[in-house]
Amino acid sequence: MNLYSLSAIDIEGNEITFDQYRGKVVLIVNTASQCGCTHQYEGLQRIYERYRDDGLVVLGFPCNQFGEQEPEDDDTISDFVTATYGVTFPMFQKVDVEGESAHPLFKYLTNGGDPVHWNFEKFLIDRDGHVRARYASDVEPRDIVDDIDELI
């Protein structure tokens, strides 16, 4: 299994194959709308706007596994992130990110090892589809810009 063999359903209900991100730097984030880290949407959007023309894509995956901080349906989530934070990067349907029910993407990202611990963990993927860095929830998007610069 590799990143490019996986797919997920975007927040509008379309199947997205990750093969379309081949050759791009990808930042994958599990998100929640009622978390103390929710403000990070703003920083993620800034990074996306700054680097998208250089080949970066940010992918948001809402998850309700931590503190039930993403209880809303996909339409409500989409409306919230767009209206509140101006999110234009791809958002996906709500998924589980840890445990037996974890989406295959997150099983790939954690390589069956250290599980996702909380909302807004971030995975930075290089242009070849390899996980290059992982950041805890308390790491602000602005604090990973140097790592993105290295991969761009």
Kindly name the residue from 27, 35, 44, 95 that is annotated as catalytic: 35
Contact 41, 48 (CB under 8 A): no
Nearest to 136 by CA among 29, 53, 5, 20: 29
Q: Is 35 a catalytic residue?
A: yes
Q: Give the largest CA-CA distance in the chain.
A: 37
129: tokens are 């589809």
CB contact at 8 A, 24 and 51: no
Instruction: Decide: 120 and 29 in contact? Cβ < 8 Å.
Output: yes
Which residues are annotated as catalytic? 35
